[in-house]
């Protein structure tokens, strides 16, 4: 078996939420617990940090991993979704898992996969936890896949839990109000384990406080901490990163309380070198100049609101937006936020979940968003480049998968 065959096998045996949406999702922890027992609970061999939230959890996870690497720790990093290559999900000190390690795992456990019929994320999580143990990491930063309470990462006993923020996303699975979604995210709060909340929101804060009290878990709201403190310079651009940086600083303070040795120099270096050290892509990432071309993976109401705020601070003659979405998002909620003073290039990523570009164009027109539809992301981007002058601005986004096709 070669790497491409191993990945094809996983995709066939376990449909991926990334491509197929809710029909690929399995609730409950039964399969996860069973897989964990088979592999003898590998996550108990190292310390863990658990990161949940609607937006910002990827950036937060990568920043934490970068700082911990600078502090001399061997760091596992488990995130999702991937943009280009499955192996992006599983890294040790920034290096992705080897193709051979993936092949070896699949070859050795095909019978188990066929017996238990786990979801794609369940089997991937088992692979990550086992790989980190094999690599003898000191600590692993574990990003929640979806929600928290029933997410298959929620079998770990972390040193620290982090919940970045709450926004409406995956409402068909997590609930249709911020309060319901917060209750799902709060499921990662563990007994006697500190939890850092990135943003104090009136709908979610009482829920987090109540669960923390029930679990005897010290709780810290990052936006109420370090007020007036100058944040370290961060390589991640975008005004929204200030919230993530503050969350990470409060989290690092808690890790220090638990015995992690992390200096101010480690923090400064980790923030500056986060892209090189962890391979993070797609966060207000500049792809070109003259015209300026930027992509961002923000894809839900909360994420797009932050993107629009960032766009409003840019200088340009004309704004061009290459935009595509998946069909299971609150399309109207997102379209209502987008600027009307832009030329739109509606498109779709090459995945089953993608919303048809012509349907998107029709829906967008009801919000005063005018443009043309294109069958592929690259075709849409090329059209935008052709129409743009050197002083224009091209933004590409709306979906992780749109961004994945052009970086």
Work out the pLDDT band at 20, boundaries 50, 70, 90: very low
Q: With beta carbons less than 8 A apart as the criterion, state whether 111 and 176 touch.
A: no
> Range with the lowest mean pLDDT among 15-29, 46-60, 209-223?
15-29
The residue ranges of every structural domain in the chain are 3-278, 285-404
Work out the pLDDT band at 15, boundaries 50, 70, 90: low
Neighbours of 98 (CB within 10 A): 13
Task: Write down the pLDDT at residue 245.
Answer: 95
Domain covering 3-278 in this structure, CATH number: 3.40.1190.10
Higher model confidence: residue 41 or residue 181? 41
Residues paired with 322 in a beta bridge: 345, 396
Task: Write down the pLDDT at residue 377.
Answer: 97
Instruction: For domain 285-404, give the fold.
Output: 3.90.190
Sign, CA torsion 210/50/55/80: negative
Task: Write down the pLDDT at residue 298.
Answer: 87
Work out the pLDDT band at 27, boundaries 50, 70, 90: low
Query: What Cα–Cα distance (Å) separates residue 199 from each residue in 19, 81, 203, 218, 252?
Result: 30, 23, 11, 16, 16
Residues paired with 47 in a beta bridge: 139
What distance in Å separates the CA atoms of residue 385 and residue 320, rounded to the nearest whole number?
9
Higher model confidence: residue 20 or residue 290? 290
What strands lie across the sheet with 47-52, from one edge to the other? 95-96, 90-92, 75-78, 139-143, 47-52, 160-163, 195-197, 219-221
**Rounded mean pLDDT of the chain?**
91
Average pLDDT over residues 110-127: 90
What strands lie across the sheet with 319-323, from one edge to the other? 285-288, 292-295, 393-397, 319-323, 342-346, 371-373
Task: Write down the pLDDT at residue 14.
Answer: 66
pLDDT at residue 33 tops 70:
yes
Peptide bond into 28 cis (omega under 30): no
Task: Write down the pLDDT at residue 17.
Answer: 41
Query: What Cα–Cα distance (Å) separates residue 287 from each residue in 158, 282, 295?
Result: 37, 10, 7
Average pLDDT over residues 270-289: 95
Query: What Cα–Cα distance (Å) separates residue 292 from each residue in 66, 238, 255, 385?
Result: 28, 15, 39, 10
Average pLDDT over residues 72-78: 98
pLDDT at residue 44 tops 60:
yes
Average pLDDT over residues 211-239: 91
Residues paired with 373 in a beta bridge: 346
Secondary structure string (H, E, C) spanning the chain: CCHHHHHHHHHHHCCCHHHHHHHHCCCCCHHHHHHHHHCCCHHHHCEEEEEECCCCHHHHHHHHHHHHHHCCCCEEEECCCCCCCHHHHEEECCEECCHHHHHHHHHHHHHHHHHHCCCHHHHHHHHHHHHHHHCCCCEEEEECCCCCCCCCCCCCCCCEEEECCCCCCCHHHHCCCHHHHHHHHHHHCCCCCCEEECCCCCCCHHHHHHHHHHCCCCEEEHHHCCCCCCCCCCCCCCCCHHHHHHHHHHHHHHHHHCCCCCCHHHHHHHHHCHHHHHCCCCCCEEEECCCEEEECCCCCHHHHHHHHHHHCCCCCCCEEEEECCECCCCHHHHHCCCCCCEEEEECCCCCCCECCHHHHHHHHHCCCCCEEECCCHHHHHHHHHHHCCCCCEEEEECCHHHHHCCC
């Amino acid at each position: 078996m070669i790497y491409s065959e191993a990945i094809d096998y996983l995709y066939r045996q376990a449909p991926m939420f990334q491509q197929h949406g809710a029909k690929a999702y399995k609730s409950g922890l039964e399969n996860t617990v069973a897989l964990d027992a088979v592999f003898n609970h590998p996550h108990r061999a190292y310390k863990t940090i658990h990161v949940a939230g609607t937006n910002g959890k990827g950036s937060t996870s990568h920043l934490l991993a970068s700082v911990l690497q600078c502090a001399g720790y061997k760091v596992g990093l488990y995130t999702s979704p991937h943009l280009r290559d499955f192996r992006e999900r599983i890294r040790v000190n920034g290096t992705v898992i080897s193709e051979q390690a993936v092949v070896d795992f699949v070859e050795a456990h095909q019978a188990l996969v066929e017996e238990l019929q786990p979801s794609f994320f369940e089997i991937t999580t088992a692979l990550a936890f086992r790989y980190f143990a094999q690599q003898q990491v000191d600590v692993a930063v574990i990003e929640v896949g979806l929600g928290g309470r029933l997410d298959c990462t929620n079998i770990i006993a972390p040193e620290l839990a982090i919940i970045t923020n709450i926004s409406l996303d995956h409402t068909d699975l997590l609930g249709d109000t911020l309060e319901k979604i917060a209750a799902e995210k709060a499921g990662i709060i563990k007994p006697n384990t500190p939890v850092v909340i990135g943003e104090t929101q009136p709908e979610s804060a009482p829920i987090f406080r109540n669960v923390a009290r029930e679990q005897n878990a010290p709780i810290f709201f990052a936006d109420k901490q370090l007020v007036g403190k100058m944040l370290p310079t961060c390589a991640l651009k975008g005004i929204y990163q200030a919230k993530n940086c503050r969350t990470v600083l409060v989290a690092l303070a808690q890790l220090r309380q638990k015995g992690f040795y992390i200096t101010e120099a480690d923090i400064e270096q980790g923030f500056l070198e986060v892209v090189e050290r962890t391979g993070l892509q797609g966060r207000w990432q500049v792809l070109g100049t003259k015209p300026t071309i930027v992509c961002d993976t923000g894809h839900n109401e909360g994420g797009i609101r932050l993107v629009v705020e960032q766009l409003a601070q840019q200088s340009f003659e004309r704004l061009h937006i290459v935009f595509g979405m998946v069909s299971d998002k609150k399309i109207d909620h997102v379209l209502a936020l987008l600027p009307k003073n832009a030329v739109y290039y509606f498109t779709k990523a090459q995945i089953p979940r993608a919303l048809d570009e012509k349907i998107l164009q029709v829906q967008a027109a009801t919000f005063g968003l005018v443009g043309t539809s294109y069958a592929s992301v690259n075709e849409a981007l090329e059209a935008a480049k052709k129409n743009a002058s050197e002083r224009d601005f091209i933004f590409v986004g709306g979906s992780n998968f749109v961004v994945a096709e052009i970086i």
